[in-house]
Amino acid sequence: MLYNFDEPIDRSASHCVKIERMKDIWKRTDLLPLWVADMDFKSPPCVLEAIQERLKHGIMGYTVPHDGYYTSIVNWVHKRYGMEVERRQIQFVPGIVPGIYVALQALTEKGDKIVIQQPVYHPFKHIIEGSGRICVNNPLMYKEGTFGFDFDDLQERIKGCKLLILCNPHNPGGMVWSQKELERLAETCAQNGVTVISDEIHADLALPPNRHTPFAMASETAKEIAVTFMAPSKAFNIPGLVAAHALVMNNGLRERLFRYIRRNDLELGNVFAYIAVEAAYTHGEEWLEQLIAYLLGNIDFVDNYLKSKMPQIRAIRPQASFLVFLDGRGLGFGTQEELDRFFVEGAKLALNSGTLFGEEGKGFMRMNIATQRSVLEQAMMQMEGAMRQMEGAMRQMEGAMRQMEGRFDAERGDV
């Protein structure tokens, strides 16, 4: 491999969320942080070089998107997904979550109902309720180690709704939705006059042999009701540049959304955003392919470790992304709080609690595996140590119970 993803990188002095916010959430600093969805790898050299070259100019002034920015997006989605996009159908937004929030403002009114499908990326619910809209949950079904749509439930819940926010690929479950599933979803939404906002930030991290299908590519119906948000943030590890883009084919939807963005002066990015997107999409494909190979190795490592040493914990193998949803229900805890405590106090790991993504995530934890293999090895050893400690405590308790039963039997025999 040309790129060394095993290189250790100290992030403690970079003011990163995964370390700084850990103190606020867990009130301690001794946890191995595997929770925030960014990677512990340097961004691609092509992106770093483009930023360094721009720095030489010395003036960090207001900046507009340029031809190379638009061309890189058009070429990238065509090559990766066969998606035909015109420049006029692309709009920069300062991050996907802010973009979705703006779409809510542009396309709905306060009091409107919006569908999400939990367990799902938690900001969806936050921005719906925070903007005065009503959140309607169409829970995903969990069966045989994967999540799926519940279309029968959706048929009932979607009535009277204005939007559905789709996570495609899914976070935290890691599913790559099939074209057939997306086509059926589009038909259901179209029949009920519902627009679909598709968050496709993990699209470029589809893991072979899985292939991502943009919602707008699922069918002609889907294309006419879709507002697609994409970004190189996850795949090329540049989320701090908050550079994302909306792709909208339908003329009416595009006019409403893009006009709202421009009238509210929300269309400009930071000075590095456009050149980073262009560099990643134009020159970063080889780096991305090697990254995906490394991530697959990490997923294999975690999956095999659990199967061989801790079968009570099951890894849901993601079809996309570097996030692994761990099914911890086999540990036998009665509450999510007990499961959380096992990982924090026992394993000393900072992971995302499954219920962060909705009550449907009860019994699960989300772990970020986009880190050096040595870090994952340490994490798994800590998890195994916590498991052995718990088993030892259980054996002691069972022994104590047997002793008590023995004393009781002896006392009863003396009577």
**Residue 159 is part of a domain; what is its CATH number?**
3.40.640.10
Of 237, 253, 283, the residue at which a domain comes to its end is: 283
Give yes or no for residue 299 having a pLDDT over 90: yes
Q: Are residues 37 and 83 in the same domain?
A: no
Give yes or no for residue 396 having a pLDDT over 80: no
Give yes or no for residue 309 having a pLDDT over 90: yes
Q: Are residues 244 and 326 in the same domain?
A: no
Q: Are residues 102 and 213 in the same domain?
A: yes
Q: Which residues contact 37 (CB under 8 A, 6 or more apart)?
A: 171, 234, 239, 321, 322, 323, 368
| Placement of tokens 């219920």 in the chain | 355
Residue 392 confidence (pLDDT) = 80
Q: What is the mean pLDDT of residues 121-141?
A: 98
Question: Residue 407 — very low, low, confident or very high, per pLDDT cuts 50/70/90?
Answer: low
Residue 393 confidence (pLDDT) = 74
Q: How many domains does the chain have?
A: 2
For 205-264, what is each residue's pLDDT tens digit?
999 999 999 999 999 999 999 999 999 999 999 999 999 999 999 999 999 999 999 999
- Candidate from 41-45, 264-268, 356-360 with smallest mean pLDDT: 264-268
Q: Are residues 247 and 180 in the same domain?
A: yes
Give yes or no for residue 341 having a pLDDT over 60: yes
- Would 260 be classed as within a structural domain? yes
Question: Residue 402 — very low, low, confident or very high, per pLDDT cuts 50/70/90?
Answer: low
Of 265, 283, 301, the residue at which a domain comes to its end is: 283
Residue 144 confidence (pLDDT) = 84
- Would 250 be classed as within a structural domain? yes
For 312-325, what is each residue's pLDDT tens digit?
999 999 999 999 99
Residue 214 confidence (pLDDT) = 98
Q: Which residue has the higher pLDDT, 402 or 35?
A: 35
Averaged pLDDT of the chain = 95
Residue 241 confidence (pLDDT) = 96
User: Would you call 210 exposed, middle or buried from its count of C-beta atoms within 10 A (0-12, 13-18, 19+)?
Assistant: middle
Q: Are residues 155 and 175 in the same domain?
A: yes
- The CATH number assigned to the domain holding 345 equals 3.90.1150.10
Alpha carbon distance 313, 324 (integer Å): 12
Residue numbers of the domain that contains 143: 45-283
Sign of CA dihedral 76, 238, 31, 294: positive
- Would 63 be classed as within a structural domain? yes
| Placement of tokens 């916590």 in the chain | 386
Percent of the residues in the chain that have a pLDDT greater than 90, as a whole number: 92
Q: Are residues 345 and 267 in the same domain?
A: no
Q: Are residues 39 and 120 in the same domain?
A: no
Please check whether residue 334 is in contact with residue 298, taking contact to mean a CB–CB distance below 8 angstroms: no
Q: Are residues 255 and 338 in the same domain?
A: no
Q: Which residue has the higher pLDDT, 393 or 377?
A: 377
- Would 10 be classed as within a structural domain? no
Q: What is the mean pLDDT of residues 80-87?
A: 97
Give yes or no for residue 403 having a pLDDT over 80: no
- Would 9 be classed as within a structural domain? no
Alpha carbon distance 38, 17 (integer Å): 9
Give yes or no for residue 346 having a pLDDT over 90: yes
Alpha carbon distance 174, 176 (integer Å): 7
Q: What is the mean pLDDT of residues 351-366?
A: 98
Q: Are residues 195 and 52 in the same domain?
A: yes
- Candidate from 143-147, 367-371, 380-384 with smallest mean pLDDT: 143-147
Give yes or no for residue 414 having a pLDDT over 60: no
For 138-173, what is each residue's pLDDT tens digit?
999 999 889 999 999 999 999 999 999 999 999 999
- Would 2 be classed as within a structural domain? no
Q: How far is CA 342 from CA 181, 302, 338, 381, in A?
A: 36, 18, 6, 14
- Would 67 be classed as within a structural domain? yes
Q: Are residues 98 and 35 in the same domain?
A: no
Start-to-end CA distance of the chain, whole Å, equals 77
Residue 398 confidence (pLDDT) = 64
Give yes or no for residue 405 having a pLDDT over 70: no
Q: Are residues 214 and 190 in the same domain?
A: yes
Of 245, 263, 283, the residue at which a domain comes to its end is: 283
Q: Are residues 259 and 320 in the same domain?
A: no
- Would 3 be classed as within a structural domain? no
Residue 378 confidence (pLDDT) = 98
Q: What is the mean pLDDT of residues 267-286?
A: 97
